[in-house]
Each structure stands twice: as structure tokens, then as C-alpha cells.
Structure 1
Amino acid sequence: MPSLSIATATLASPVTTTEMLSPNPFSSLKARDLGGSLLTRGSLGGETLVDLVGGYYDAGDNVKFGFPMAFTTTMLSWSVIEFGGLMKGELQNAREAIRWATDYLLKATAQPDTIYVQVGDANKDHACWERPEDMDTPRNVFKIDRNTPGSDVAAETAAALAAASLVFRRTDPTYAKLLVRRAIRVFEFADKYRGPYSNGLRRFVCPFYCSYSGYQDELLWGAAWLQRATKNPMYLHYIQVNGQTLGADETDNTFGWDNKHVGARILLSKAFLVQKVQSLHDYKGHADNYICSLIPGNPFSQAKYTPGGLLFKMSDTNMQYVTSTSFLLLAYAKYLTSAHKVVNCGGAVVTPSRLRNVAKKQVDYLLGDNPLKLSYMVGYGPRYPLRIHHRGSSLPSIATHPAKIRCSSGFSIMNSQSPNPNIHVGAVVGGPDQHDQFPDQRSDYEQSEPSTYINAPLVGSLAYLAHSFGQL
């Protein structure tokens, strides 16, 4: 088994960039290699400026997309909630990475019934290949409000704030209370003014982060996190009354930045298994159905795996589903163990130990135990991707090339075969295809681009596996 280290599981996007006053200390691209980047606030139109300093870019571009950023924050928080006690010296780094995001989300939700959900014009940004420090594309700000609702991104933001409040409850109770109060207000907005955000903002958020699955899953997910963070009976009642209409028993078993149904099932099953909330009994059954669909060799198994054993959901950034699924398997194994329960898949008994073994195999594959003997975490192991689809990694640093690299000039480097000059240690790329093949080409963003939401759930999995196998 490859050696595991939580220290290498940093969030995948170096976010020392526009709208920031100082470099993000948790980027794996060192601050000394990165200069200032615009240092301005976002423009809402005309002369209006909005203070949106902070936050994360989603992946290899220079846009701050609120939807995947909020999901990243939720999953990193969940990683700390379940496995933070195993992170040892890295726990404070994880907390600070979460706070970097939640400070931004607090700014984005400062006005009632309004959320700023994107900074930057993605179409214009993607027409350039520039370092963050050189970026000169429009920094327009896009928002949702009563007239342009976005229940999906709003409820995910509420989930992120609620989950993060649990992370800071003991270490900074004042901040935790601020987060949960804001989460309550944001969820009320999400529920009252319903609609997918990509209806009103389609030409700006699509095809990048369209709300393909609708907003119902986020409402259930957000309510689940608020139920856990507040213990207020109103959220339990909301789940009981609205669960079915919000898709509690949906058969879609994909978990990622767009679809939260599976995550909500696992989270709510904990309330039943561990906290003995009997009214949520059905969510144990929903969670079990998900598990049975994943585990090979039982009558209900539906998941597809590559010949080398990697879970394969889809060609575009498949590794996000590998890391999110592995985390859910480990979290559910923890809940089952606490309640002395197993999963029954049509007569085939699946134990918590089996779930852990499946998760471990996925993480082992990611770290190099695969047909190519290639680690999909940059900088880890003897072989890893050299040409990741990431502007800051692929272009020379300010320190080595102080002259500005303009919009179109960078494409000559993007299209070259030269290895990236800046090794983005800890970033996990989209991963191999269904045949275990990986071309390592910058132009192949589906396989070669890292993202924050690939790394965030991996943090929890690595903490557990590293501890369990004596590497941390």
C-alpha cells in the first residue's frame, strides 16, 4: 500500500489571486512563487464595488465559482468533523483552510436575500491562459436574489456555513455562532425563493457549473446540516415533511458538487444510527441501498469499475466521485460500527470492515497502486502528472519571469509538451479513463485538471487511512 500523508492532501487550487489581500497560506504553490493579483473587489456593474476578498478558485482557471466552493467547504468541514481527531498536527491547517472559505462566504451572504455566487466572467477567463497575477479579464460579480433565485447554491452555502460551525464550536464559539446564524438566514432564503440558479445566470455559470440535478437535493442537504448544527426540531420536522418531495429516495447514486442526495442520506443515517433519532429510520434504508449499489458481488451492485479497479462514474473529472465516495464509505462504516450494525444486500452481508477495504482500495489506486503505477496526486510518489491543466502551475512564476504574460500568449505554453515549472504538490487531477489510461496532456482538462472538490473529501479519507495504517 502506498504511504499515506495528510500533509500532501492540500486543497487543489492555489488561490493567492484576485480579490485577495494576501496569499492563501494553504496553497501548495508556495507564496514566494506568487505575486499580488489585482487586489481589487468585484464589480457588480457601473461603479458598484463589492468586497469579495478571499475564497478559492475552483480548479485551474481564475474564476471564483460559489457553488463548488461551498461544496468544497462543506466536505472539508465534514472531513474534520468525522476524522479531525486523527489529523494531529494538520488539524489546525484544515481549520484555517475552512475559515479562509467561510470568511469569504460570510461576505458573499452579508446582504439579506442576496448571495454573490461568482466572481469573474468564465467565458472570457477561459479564452485566456494567464497567471493569476497577470489576470486582466473582467471581474464582474454575479448574484442571486428574490428576483433571480438560486436555491441550489444558497442551500449549499447554508450547508457549508452550518458544517463549518461544528468545526469551530469548541475552538472559537463566537465565530461558530456567527456561522450558524448566517446559515439559518441563508437557508430560509433558499427555501422561500425557489429555483435553480442556472435559470437566471445560465450564460455565466453554464456549462461550467450548471445545476443539472435541480435544487431539491441541496434543500434536503442544507436542512440535514442545520438539523445537526442547531438541534432545532424545526429542521427535523422540515426533513420529515419534505424529505420525499426533495428526493430522499432518489436512485441517483452520484455524489458531487451538483448532486447531494447520497450525502444527505448518509448524513441523516448518522442521526438515526448514532443519535437514535428514530423518525429518520428510513434514511438508514436509503443509505444501505446506496452502499449495495456500490459494493461488488452482491445482487444489487450497479457501480462500474475500470479493469484496474477504480470506481468509474463519468469521463469528466471522475476522480471527484472516487474521493467523495471513498469518504462516504468511511463515514458510514464509522456510523455502522458505532451502532453495531451491518448492511444487508439481498442476503449478502456487508460489514463496516468491507466498506473500509473498498475505500482503501480506491485511495490506493489514486496514490499509485494502479496499472500505470502513476500517482494521481501531484508531487506524491516517483511518478505523477507533469502537465496538469492549471494556469498557475503551468506558467513560469513571477520570480523567474517577472514580465507580464498576456491573455493569448500563455497558450503556446499550455499547448506545449513541457512539464509544468511549478509542481502543484497535493493537487489531485481528474484521473484516468475507463480503461485506466491517462495521457498527461494539459489540453485534456477532463483528466488533467485538479479541483478543490476532488481534494476536500480526500482529506478525511487520508486522515483515517493514514492513522489506521500507521503513517500519521
Structure 2
Amino acid sequence: MAFSTTMLAWSVLDFGDFMGPDLPHALEAIKWATDYFLKATSIPGFVFVQVGDPYGDHNCWERPEDMDTPRIPYAASKQFPGSEVSAEIAAALAASSMVFRSSNPAYSARLLKRAAMVFEFADANRGSYNDTLGPWVCPFYCDFSGYEDELIWGAAWLYKATKAPNYWSYIVQNISDLEKNAAEHTDRVGYGGGSFAEFGWDTKNAGINILVSKLLLSNNTSDVGPFIPNADKFVCTVLPESPTVYVSYSPGGLLFKPGGSNLQHATALSFLLLAYARYLNQSNREIHCGNVVATPARLIQFARGQVDYILGTNPLKMSYMVGYGSKFPRKIHHRGSSLPSVDQHPASINCQGGAPYFQSNDPNPNLLIGAVVGGPDKEDSYSDSRADFVHTEPTTYINAPLVGLLAYFRSHPPL
């Protein structure tokens, strides 16, 4: 949730000028999340990171209105550290504070003050929630890559929001440890392309390098540290023509990385390439991947290709966004979408009462308009089945980076 919020805020900061009448909707979505984070961090020394028993919730297929599973709250604290989730919340609050700076300055200041407090908590009480809250949070969202990347990511957003030199010092002092710490997790994660090539809800390394590179390029500084070289190396792991390409591609051209919900990689990495392309343009730079020259225009073209694939330019001529186009996923892995509405079925549907709807071959009765699912397999085929959650489950961390991409391409038609 925090990563999705950070990415929505980054989308508005970089691409909000292109959102037109949809900008207020983006701000509303961000504020919904930041209001929650303010509540979740309102008791000093505690960061509430999960509500609900995950086993109980996953065992039931029922409407949100009918949920009667235990609402147990779980908090990171000095006794139970959770640096990765706390630092990501700090990043979300700091990024969002910039979004509201002009429209709601009092709220913006409140977010920034809380971001600093939560970051200090995450840094002072270092540890992974895997080790402390693991039995309750880890089966579904384990931290595989360590918490050090989130701490630097949080500091980077706080530096961007405040320009306070202590955050810059923190980034510089800790960045050298990031690769070393990541190497300790390599066996579990499989960083074949180097951790600088990774970006998503669990691993922030490539995002740190792109974000900090923008700050360096805009300051026109000569001391680029490892950030710009690593950002360049990241680009070279993604472009298919690069001699150091690490990701794979389907026959139809969709980017693939290991793990489920693959479109999270297509949207998040495309977002970084589009953002970096614009920073490169402003500083008249291009990237060299061996003997291959990657211009900013090429990075933009790549991102557009991934977005076009998601929206229907693919071998199945299928949109992976619910409600977009004439052919899109109809049996998505989503409780509220697959169960009849209270209007159609006023009586409660209990924990196991939703099973017949889950097993049904009928399309979902409620369209979750705009949701993007996990996507097709490596051969560009797609099984529209509720049970196949790896491919049919929508997630906020797939959608969030896509918002910025769509805003940009809405205003920049192909040349």
C-alpha cells in the first residue's frame, strides 16, 4: 500500500501537468492513503502495518461488506522492528507532502512532519518485520531484499521534500552498503542482473538511483557517485537490444521477470525509464550499453510499447485493464468483483458462502473498471480464470506506476 502511494505521488509530481481533469482523482486517491497512514502512525513508537489475520482472510471468499474475520492489528515497534514497511510509509508521506504543497499547505506540512518522525523510528529501530512479525505478515508479503533499500529510499524522498543536508548525508553514507547488503540476499531473490536492476514493492534500488540521479542532474553536480552509473546500468538491463539485457521478453514483446503478477514489472520499470528519459533530455545525455546507444527517445519508445501491449497491442488483441477495449479479463481474482452486490443479494454471504461464485465459470458480475491484472504468461497466452491468481489478480502496485505513464502518453502521441 505504501509503495503504491509513493508511486502515485511520484506520478503526480512528474506527470501531473498531463493529467488534466483526472488530476483531482489522483490527489483524492493519494489522500485516501495518506489519511490512513497518519492514523497508522499516530501513536509515537508504533507503526501499524497490517490489520487482519491473513490466513483467515485468504480462507474466505466474501464481500467486504460481509467480512467477519478477525481484525487483529499488527504494529512495528522498538520491540518488533519493521524498518522496511516503516521507511516505505515515510517515503509515501514525504512524496505526498510535495503533491499537496500548493493546494493544501497545512496538510502538506503535517505529512512531511510525520514522514520525518516515521523515518527516524525506522532508522533508530532497525530490523525486518520478517523476523518480528513474520508469522503473521510474511506468508503473503515477505521482505526478500532486506530493509536497507527502504531506508535510503525514504531518506531520498525526505531530501527531495526538504533539501535538508542530513538526509543527503544519510544517502551518501549508506549507499555503499546497499549492494553489499543486497548480496547477502542474492540466493533468496535471484539478483541475476545486480540489485541495481531491481524495482518494485519489495526492492527499491533502481528507483533510488533514478530518483537521486534526477536531483544530481538538476543540480548539475560533477559528483555523481554511484547513482547515475547505476541508473544507466539499470537501463541497459532492460532494453532488449542491449548486450547486458537481463530481463526476458514474450514473443509479443512483453517484459518478464521472475515471480507472479508480472505486469508489476512492466509498469514499474517502464515508469522508471520514462522518468529517466525526461531527466536525460533536460541534461542532454544519452546512455551507452556497450556499443548500443540508448537515447531518451528510445527509452520513451520502449515504455510506450509496454503500455500499448497492456492496453491491447498484443497477440491476443486483449486489454489487460478491466473495462478498457472490447476484450478484457472477465473473471478476475477479486472478491468484490466476483460476488453479487448487496443490491442484487441483500442477504449476507458467509466465509465459505462465496465458494460457488469463486468456482463459477460465469463472468464477474461487477466490473472493477481500470484494474490491471497480473497479465499473460511468457508465451502471450492468458487463462481467464479466477483460480489462476498469478495472472488474474489485480494489484494496486501494478496500477500505480501506470497512472504516470498513461498521463504522459495521453499528452504525447507517437511521433
Q: If the length of structure 2 is used for normalisation, what is the TM-score?
A: 0.95
Aligned to 1:159: 91
Q: 1:442 aligns to what SS in structure 2?
A: coil
Q: Structure 1 residue 210 and structure 2 residue 142: aligned?
A: yes
Corresponding residue number in structure 2 for 1:350: 294
In the alignment, structure 1 residue 311 sits paired with structure 2 residue 243:
no
Cα separation, 2, equivalents of 1:106 and 1:427? 26
Relative contact order (C-alpha < 8 Å, sep 6+): which is higher? 1
Equivalent position of 1:79 in the other structure: 11
Residue in 2 that maps onto 1:339 = 283
When residues 193 and 278 of structure 1 are mapped into structure 2, their CA distance, relative to the original with a 3 A threshold, is: farther
Preserved contact between residue 316 and residue 446 of structure 1 (Cα < 8 Å): yes
Which secondary structure state, in structure 2, belongs to the residue aligned with residue 142 of structure 1?
A: strand
| Maintained 8 Å contact 1:248/1:286 | no
- CA offsets 1:429-468 (integer angstroms, 9 cap, x no match): 0001111111010011110000111101100000001110
- Report the Cα offset of residue 277 of structure 1: 4.2
Other structure's SS at 1:359 match: helix
Q: Which residue of 2 aligns with 1:382?
A: 326
- State how far apart, in whole Å, the 1-side matches of 2:255 and 2:242 are: 16
1:438 is aligned to: 382
What is the one-letter code of the residue matched to 2:336? G
Could you list the runs of 4 or more consecutive aligned residues of structure 1 that deviate by over 3 angstroms after TM superposition?
Answer: 247-250, 277-281
Is contact 1:268-1:280 (8 Å) kept? no
Selected match of 2:360 from 416, 423, 426: 416
Q: Distance in 2 between matches of 1:249 and 1:208?
A: 23
Q: What is aligned with 1:121?
A: 53
Deviations 1:117-157 (A, max 9, x none): 00111100111100000100001100000000011001100
Q: Structure 1 or 2: larger helix share?
A: 2
| 1:467 and 2:399 correspond | no
Deviation of the 1:298 alpha carbon:
2.1
Q: Which residue of 2 aligns with 1:369?
A: 313
2:373 counterpart of 1:429: yes
Whole-angstrom distance in 2 between the partners of 1:457 and 1:297: 24
Against the structure 1 CA distance between its residues 248 and 340, is the aligned structure 2 distance closer, same or farther, given a 3 Å change threshold?
A: farther
Residue 302 of structure 1 and its aligned partner are, at CA, apart by: 1.7
Does structure 2 retain, via aligned residues, the 8 Å contact 1:223–1:239? yes
Contact 1:428 1:454 in 2 (8 A): yes
Distance 2:41 2:31 in 1: 15
Query: For residues 458 and 441 of structure 1, do their structure 2 counterparts lie closer, same or farther at Cα, with a shift above 3 Å needed?
Result: same
Q: Answer whether contact 2:332 2:373 (CA < 8 A) is retained.
A: yes
Q: How many residues align?
A: 402
- Amino acid paired to 1:124: G
TM-score, scaled relative to structure 1:
0.84
Distance 1:401 1:78 in 2: 40
CA distance in 2, matches of 1:180, 1:164: 8
Aligned equivalents of 1:315, 1:286: Cα separation in 2: 23
Contact 2:236-2:244 at 8 Å conserved across structures: yes
Provide the C-alpha distance between the structure 2 equivalents of 1:298 and 1:314, rounded to a whole number of angstroms: 19
Counterpart Cα distance in 2 of 1:299 and 1:325: 18
Note the C-alpha offset of 1:246.
2.6
Residue 177 (structure 2) pairs with residue 233 (structure 1):
no
Q: 1:15 matched to which residue of 2?
A: none
Q: Is the Cα–Cα contact under 8 Å of residues 216 and 247 in structure 1 kept in the other structure? A: no
Q: Distance in 2 between matches of 1:443 and 1:342?
A: 45
Corresponding residue number in structure 1 for 2:303: 359
2:129 to 181, 197, 200: 197
Q: Deviations over 1:65-91 (max 9, x none)?
A: xxxx10010000000000000001011
2:243 aligned partner: 299
- Where 1:208 maps in the other structure, the secondary structure is helix
SS at match of 2:247: coil
Aligned to 2:191: none
Which structure 2 residues correspond to residues 37-48 of structure 1 after superposition, within 5 A? none
SS, match of residue 57 in structure 2: helix
Pairwise mapping of residues 398-417 of structure 1 onto structure 2 (< 5 A)? 398-417=342-361
Q: State the partner residue of 1:261.
A: 205
Shift of 1:248: 8.8
- Measured in 2, the distance between the counterparts of 1:276 and 1:175 equals 32
Aligned CA RMSD, in angstroms, stands at 1.3
- Aligned position for 1:135: 67
2:79 corresponding residue in structure 1:
147
- For 1:169 and 1:118, how far apart are their aligned partners in 2? 29
**Match of residue 187 from structure 2:** none
- Per-residue deviation, 1:207: 1.9
Task: Kindly provide the amino acid, as one letter, of the partner of residue 413 in structure 2.
Answer: F
Q: Name the structure 2 match of 1:111.
A: 43
> Alpha-carbon deviations, 1:251-304, whole Å to 9, x = none?
122211101111111101101112334444431101000001111222212220
Is the partner of 1:212 in helix, strand or coil? coil
- Overall identity of the aligned pairs, in %: 53
Partner of 1:89: 21
1:314 Cα deviation (Å)?
2.4
Q: Deviations over 1:318-352 (max 9, x none)?
A: 01111101111110001001111111111321000
Deviation at 1:249, TM superposition (A): 10
Q: Specify the SS of the correspondent of 2:248.
A: coil
Kept in 1, the 8 Å contact 2:90–2:114? The answer is yes
Structure-2 separation of matches of 1:369 and 1:207: 35
Distance (whole Å) between structure 2 residues aligned to residue 280 and residue 398 of structure 1: 57
Counterpart secondary structure, 1:206: helix
Specify the alignment match of 1:223 in structure 2.
155
Tell me the alpha carbon deviations over residues 160-214 of structure 1, each in whole angstroms, 9 at most, x when there is no partner: 0000011011111111111111111111111111111121111211221111111
1:367-396: per-residue Cα shift (whole Å, max 9, x none)? 011111110000000100000000000000
Q: Note if contact 1:269-1:281 (Cα within 8 Å) is conserved in structure 2.
A: no
* Cα pair 1:317 1:429 within 8 Å, conserved: yes
Conserved? CA contact 2:148–2:181, under 8 Å: no
Paired with 1:446 and 1:224, the residues of 2 have a C-alpha distance of 32
